[in-house]
Amino acid sequence: MNKILVLKKRKDFLRAAQGIRMVVSTVILQAAPRLSGSSESFRIGYTASKKIGKAHVRNKAKRRLRAVVRDVFPSMALDNVDYVLISRFNTADCKFKDLKSDIKWALKKTNKMLLGEDASSQNTEQPNTPSC
């Protein structure tokens, strides 16, 4: 398994914010294709603001996001794309299965939009998962 590359520079986070944004009940996924010509693997960044809680809540949310990324992204993410996962108020508290299904759904829709497929003809509503 390849190592997951992590975004660390602010300019990469800002560039991803200019791309596609997909909002689900547990997380916000932002994605933008990289401009470099090399065919590297995907890169991922994690964000948890102080709005969602104290340090232990933010750390738990980011740990859960990293766990989902290890399970889902290697098989579904596109090469040469930067992704940013922004935790929401219920990321740390919801069931892991619901978090994983939300991220899978958001990743599928985002990848369709990045590839230029018509996502508007598809069902673009959030999956029917109970909010945590």
Phi, psi of 92 (to 5 degrees): -80, -20
* pLDDT of the residue at 122: 46
* pTM (two decimals): 0.85
The residues that bridge with 27 in the sheet, in sequence order, are 87
107-131 per-position pLDDT tens digit: 999 999 999 875 554 444 565 655 6
- For residues 1 and 38, the model is more confident at 38
The DSSP-derived string for 71-95 is HHHHHHPPTTEEEEEEE-TTTTTS-
Element (DSSP H or E) covering residue 28? strand 27-33
pLDDT band at 40 (very low <50, low <70, confident <90, very high): confident
Question: Is residue 26 predicted with pLDDT exceeding 90?
Answer: yes
CA distances from 4 to 17, 59, 70, 71, 116 (A): 20, 19, 8, 11, 25
Is CATH 3.30.230.10 what the domain over 5-114 is classified as, yes or no?
A: yes
Residue-averaged pLDDT of the chain: 88
* pLDDT of the residue at 129: 58
Phi, psi of 9 (to 5 degrees): -95, 140
The Cα–Cα gap between 110 and 36 comes to: 20
* pLDDT of the residue at 123: 45
What residues contact residue 63 under an 8 Å CB cut-off, 6+ apart?
A: none
41-78 per-position pLDDT tens digit: 899 999 999 999 999 999 999 999 999 999 999 999 99
